[in-house]
Structure 1
């Protein structure tokens, strides 16, 4: 790839599929270059990089297990190399903490292993990955943490998941408070139920569940990835530079 210096650079965790994939493509459409992470499917990640290249953007895919904090130092080292080799920079501008999984289990049946896995990916991993990346973030940068409508309303079987997302919303406000002197903003984007492969693709593939979601959404349908990625890209534009410490739900008016 040709070294570039003018473009803004975003890191998007879990950027090879679902909402992350939609986000990186929409960032590229706005002229923002991307470092996207993937958990295990290199082919999907390479396809995302190729799609961005077709749009005239520059992207790099790096492997990351966002639930294993012991791997973060190696990831940061790989990121430094990628930034230098591809952009001639030692910093990046935007961080989108998107990577996640869904586990549906009633409180009475949730195992400690399930709880810890959700916590490591959605809460502990986000906290310590952000901590590791802050020295590389340019002043005036932006952080977006992904939450969920389930941190506002309740769905049976999502107690542990919703707890983690509630914690992320609090963390985001503290980031905004502590990083304000560097001109860095932090906001939370909370999607509603979206038709992707998240959580086994229940919203997308289960007609009855999709119908239920549609029935409690003011706009009368379940969300799709194209409802979320463009919004995140827009939030990272300079038009939204004064938006800070906010929780922005993008659910079409679900459970209002």
Structure 2
């Protein structure tokens, strides 16, 4: 366990899956966590309930990403709660986890499909970082959740992989930009994770996708949350601009 007592954190897209596990883990480590979703308010409530049952602290922020003004709506929601319920206005940990998929043959991708994926997965995180920078203190942490698909090919996910590759550039360049402020910026790249989607429950598909990992199993959301928790901690003070492979060895000679 890392010690995040007294810290505040925002995890975008934390109503389910990796985001939920990350919010739970950061709260378990002592942080006050802003749990975010664009529309899934019931999922937000479930995440917060799970945190408070364990004695943690969390609050809800609803803001649709990928639309004009999204970063401002998100930041204003966080700022309001911190002003009302915390003795600090600072945000110590920002986890850009929210994202959408675009699984389809590349011949079927429309300009609208492409623009939507880029808006949520790349444009929104850039302006979220920009908007929150005045609130992030020295020693702050930014963690961007990417994908192993930026390192190997799956033609069904070209726009998604392109957008996540852009997200990785946010990591690289902001890490350099914020170094003198002692703020670290890193990327975590999951592989196939069992996030509860019904289509992942088919035994044959689970066997096929699990076989992409050297461990021959699907990842669990908490595996990714554990990596994020390390990067959010003081122990990771000398790690910045890094791309952390959390694919379970999917990149070790495997192919889709």
TM range (shorter): over 0.9
Equivalent position SS for 2:71: helix
What is the match of residue 156 of structure 2? 157
CA drift of 1:88 comes to: 1.9
Would you say the 8 A contact 2:141–2:231 is kept in 1? Answer: no
Would you say the 8 A contact 1:195–1:201 is kept in 2? Answer: no
What is the match of residue 239 of structure 1? 235
Deviation per CA, 1:16-53, whole angstroms, max 9, x where unpaired? 11110011111111111201111112122122112211
Would you say the 8 A contact 2:71–2:124 is kept in 1? Answer: no
Would you say the 8 A contact 1:18–1:225 is kept in 2? Answer: yes
Equivalent position SS for 2:92: strand
User: Where does structure 1 differ by over 3 angstroms across 4 or more consecutive aligned residues?
Assistant: none
Would you say the 8 A contact 1:69–1:129 is kept in 2? Answer: no
What is the match of residue 251 of structure 1? 247
CA drift of 1:142 comes to: 0.5
Whole-angstrom CA distance in 2 between matches of 1:247 and 1:144: 10
CA drift of 1:240 comes to: 1.3
Q: Is 1:177–2:176 an aligned residue pair?
A: yes
What is the match of residue 189 of structure 1? 188
What is the match of residue 47 of structure 1? 46
CA drift of 1:201 comes to: 4.6
CA drift of 1:140 comes to: 1.2
Against the structure 1 CA distance between its residues 69 and 140, is the aligned structure 2 distance closer, same or farther, given a 3 Å change threshold?
farther
Whole-angstrom CA distance in 1 between matches of 2:111 and 2:138: 39
Equivalent position SS for 1:104: coil
Whole-angstrom CA distance in 2 between matches of 1:229 and 1:157: 26
Whole-angstrom CA distance in 1 between matches of 2:215 and 2:151: 18
TM-score, normalised via structure 2 length? 0.92
Range 208-217 or range 30-39, more displaced = 208-217
How do 1:12-51 and structure 2 match up within 5 A? 12-51=11-50
Would you say the 8 A contact 1:24–1:34 is kept in 2? Answer: yes
Equivalent position SS for 2:99: coil
Whole-angstrom CA distance in 2 between matches of 1:222 and 1:107: 26
- Structure 1: runs of 5+ lacking an equivalent: 1-5
RMSD: 1.4
Would you say the 8 A contact 2:23–2:35 is kept in 1? Answer: yes
CA drift of 1:208 comes to: 2.9
What is the match of residue 166 of structure 1? 165
Q: Is 1:97–2:93 an aligned residue pair?
A: no
How do 1:27-176 and structure 2 match up within 5 A? 27-176=26-175
